[in-house]
Amino acid sequence: MKTPPPFALHLRPATPDDDAFLFTLYASTREQQLAAWGWTPAQGEPFLRMQYQAQARHYAAKHPPEGHAIIERDGAAVGRQWLVRTPAELLLVDVALLPSQRGAGLGTHLLNAMQAEAARARVPMRLHVTRDNPALRLYTRHGFTPVPGSDPASPYLELQWWAPEGDSGTGVR
């Protein structure tokens, strides 16, 4: 039996009151990119706000809100997860953690839970990730593979995961 993680994670529905946190989280995912461009925070903020709002509108228009959740650790917001559940698949639209929470096993814990859910439902799990995203290593370690026919010129990889034969999602991998 696996030892439980040394933290208490809770998912709760995202609400409009979470907008400031979600912007901060989004901006944290773009810090390296802005630094590479040599932009100061003052230069980057208008760009980040525009990009954040475009992403928020796109996700809201394309995906049902039921799967949009705030990840809380010990009662504090530390990330977000947007998981779309259909009879045919689980689609991980987005998962992000604050920089202070990365590398502590939270992503693995969340991914294990999503994979167990997909295994119980007997559906694949699918996601898109940029080719330079450090999370790509996490996904490949957890058995995600490129979807055949993916465009090699695209900056995004479409990945999928199927539960191994006989895995009904009753145990954590």
- pLDDT of the residue at 6: 62
Mean pLDDT across 152-168: 86
Domain map (residue ranges) of the chain: 10-161
Instruction: List the structure tokens of 49.
Output: 């706000």
What is the CATH architecture of 10-161? Answer: 3-Layer(aba) Sandwich (3.40)
Closest C-alpha to 82, from 25, 8, 2, 30: 25
At residue 168 the predicted structure's pLDDT band, cuts being 50, 70 and 90, is: low
Taking only the tens place, the pLDDT of each residue in 95-134 is 999 999 998 899 999 999 999 999 999 999 999 999 888 8
> What are the E-state strand segments in 14-150?
68-73, 76-85, 90-97, 125-130, 145-146
pTM above 0.85, yes or no: yes
Taking only the tens place, the pLDDT of each residue in 65-97 is 999 999 999 999 999 999 999 999 999 999 999
